[in-house]
Amino acid sequence: MIKQQNFDQRYILNLSCPDQMGIVADVASFLAQQGCNILESAQFDDELSGQFFMRTVFGTDESTPNKMNLEASFGPISKRFSMKWQLHDQRNKPRVLIMVSKPGHCLNDLLYRVSIGALDMDVVGIISNHPDQQSRAKFYGVPYHYLPITAKTKINQEAKVLNIIESTNTELIVLARYMQILTAETCQKLDGRIINIHHSFLPGFKGAKPYHQAYTKGVKLIGATAHYVTPNLDEGPIIDQETTRVTHAQTPEELERVGRDLENLVLARAVRYHVEQRVLIHQDRTVVFY
């Protein structure tokens, strides 16, 4: 009978670097020398860019050096291969702040998934420019910050948002149908830390009532896209997408219902990939280790 090995702790090592021989071998040898056991590993060699990407999950026991010592010991290898890398302790739940306007379907879906353990993260607060979702926040026991916004107060409102992010030690911001455009300055400050969700009609149907616009054009496919936010509106690195077929017989309201379901699914997947350290950003693209 094979005895199952138990590990006191698990870590995730993410790295990217110019592709060259010996990366996987050196990383595996390093972990073995430190008394770590590789539990999961995935890598991708992007031949077009010449970049190499790797995600490795490994377990440790009481004899293994702590995180600080592991990071210090890994330094020489990272320099040798010119790596960008990060070591994540799986015990630490990411601290997440959700921003929402009036539509509450994505917010409710995320909070429910957190409540049943399907999303392993700590929701530290909800920010909204409308009071509509206060009762939902109260039901889930999450602090609600009502910050109304106008064209004249936009800069001050975003300053309050940034203060809440800093005071709560927020690591990830999720725009769960937050119907305001963040300033370029805020996008740059939070680069790689904001995820947005929107319908996949862009750039075809912008503005109000996109599903009505789609209906009048006889659209046969609708979808949703989750991406990181950049100063270029809705053009950030894509994390996840989904589509489904629709027909001429469906009303604009039915199309919108299908769209809401897709937005829930795609946003939840994108957030999960991020909090599980499965996403590596390279320029305008992502590598996602499913």
CATH code (residue 24): 3.30.70.260
What's the CA gap between 283 and 250, in Å, rounded? Answer: 39
Q: Give the rounded percent of residues in the chain with a pLDDT score beyond 90.
A: 87
Q: Is the pLDDT of residue 10 over 60?
A: yes
3-state secondary structure of 173: strand
Q: What is the pLDDT of residue 205?
A: 76
Please report which confidence band the pLDDT of residue 200 belongs to, taking 50, 70 and 90 as the band edges.
confident
149, 32: one domain: no
Which single residue is written with the structure tokens 């300053």? 159
Q: Please report whether residue 3 resides in a domain.
A: no
Among 70, 89, 108, the domain boundary falls at 89
36, 156: one domain: no
Strands 194-199 and 172-175: parallel
214, 278: one domain: yes
Please report which confidence band the pLDDT of residue 2 belongs to, taking 50, 70 and 90 as the band edges.
very low
Among 45, 69, 89, the domain boundary falls at 89
In the chain, the DSSP E strands lie at: 9-18, 37-46, 51-60, 84-89, 95-100, 122-128, 144-146, 172-175, 194-199, 221-228, 238-245, 279-282, 285-288
Among 64, 89, 114, the domain boundary falls at 89
Q: What is the pLDDT of residue 124?
A: 98
C-alpha angle 24-27-31 in degrees, rounded to nearest 5: 135
What's the CA gap between 237 and 240, in Å, rounded? Answer: 10
Q: Is the pLDDT of residue 6 over 70?
A: no
The CATH number assigned to the domain holding 252 equals 3.40.50.170
Mean per-residue pLDDT over the chain, rounded = 94
158, 247: one domain: yes
Q: Please report whether residue 4 resides in a domain.
A: no
Please report which confidence band the pLDDT of residue 190 belongs to, taking 50, 70 and 90 as the band edges.
very high
3-state secondary structure of 25: helix
Domain that holds residue 270: 95-288
Q: Please report whether residue 102 resides in a domain.
A: yes
Q: What is the pLDDT of residue 145?
A: 98
Q: Please report whether residue 155 resides in a domain.
A: yes
Contacts of 30 by beta carbon, 8 Å cutoff, 6+ apart: 73, 74, 77
Q: Please report whether residue 72 resides in a domain.
A: yes
208, 237: one domain: yes
132, 184: one domain: yes
Q: Is the pLDDT of residue 114 over 70?
A: yes
169, 137: one domain: yes
69, 123: one domain: no
Q: Please report whether residue 222 resides in a domain.
A: yes
Quick check: bond before 94 cis, omega within 30?
no
**C-beta neighbour count of 74 within 10 angstroms:** 19
Q: What is the pLDDT of residues 56-67, one digit of tens each?
A: 999 998 889 999
Q: Please report whether residue 1 resides in a domain.
A: no
Q: Is the pLDDT of residue 91 over 90?
A: yes
Q: Please report whether residue 2 resides in a domain.
A: no
Which single residue is written with the structure tokens 């990407």? 53
60, 101: one domain: no
Average pLDDT over residues 234-253: 94
Report the catalytic residues. Answer: 234
The domain tally of the chain equals: 2
Q: Is the pLDDT of residue 233 over 90?
A: no
Q: Is the pLDDT of residue 1 over 50?
A: no
48, 170: one domain: no
pTM, whole model, 2 decimals? 0.94
Q: What is the pLDDT of residue 3?
A: 45
DSSP structure string for 29-95? HHHHHTT-EEEEEEEEEETTTTEEEEEEEEEE-TTS--HHHHHHHHHHHHHHTT-EEEEEETTSPPE
169, 260: one domain: yes
**C-beta neighbour count of 114 within 10 angstroms:** 21
106, 39: one domain: no
Please report which confidence band the pLDDT of residue 38 belongs to, taking 50, 70 and 90 as the band edges.
very high
Q: Is the pLDDT of residue 203 over 80?
A: no
Please report which confidence band the pLDDT of residue 214 belongs to, taking 50, 70 and 90 as the band edges.
confident
